[in-house]
Amino acid sequence: MSLASILVGLAVAIVAIAYVARPFRRDEPDWEHAIAQWVDTLGDAEDAAVNFCPQCGRRVAPDHRFCPGCGRALPASEAAE
């Protein structure tokens, strides 16, 4: 047996042991807490005006008359909000 095959076998054994032992395993996240925290950070986001270009879907400011991404003229209702 050559030294290279011994080193390859040793590397495979180390990877297998690390996979089985999983020393860096993390606990499952608490999804309900994470979602509640995310909803709390949104706050009054529903009241804020968020507009999107109907052609490319890029976010546009309420005072934009044209989309900065594709150049399409925005409808008056989206540009005036």
**Residue range(s) defining the domain that contains residue 8:** 3-80
pLDDT in tens, 1-60: 799 999 999 999 999 888 887 766 667 778 888 888 888 877 655 545 568 888 898 988
pLDDT at 80: 45
User: How many domains in the chain?
Assistant: 1
Paired tokens of 80: 């005036």
pTM of the complete model: 0.34
- Residue 81's pLDDT band (boundaries 50, 70, 90)? very low
Write phi, then psi, for 53 (nearest 5 degrees): -70, 130
Query: Of 81, 68, 72, 77, which is closest to residue 54 (Cα–Cα)?
Result: 72
The Cα 39–Cα 31 span in angstroms is 12
Paired tokens of 35: 């979602």
Close Cβ partners of 60 (under 8 Å, ≥ 6 residues apart): 51, 52, 53, 67, 68, 74, 78
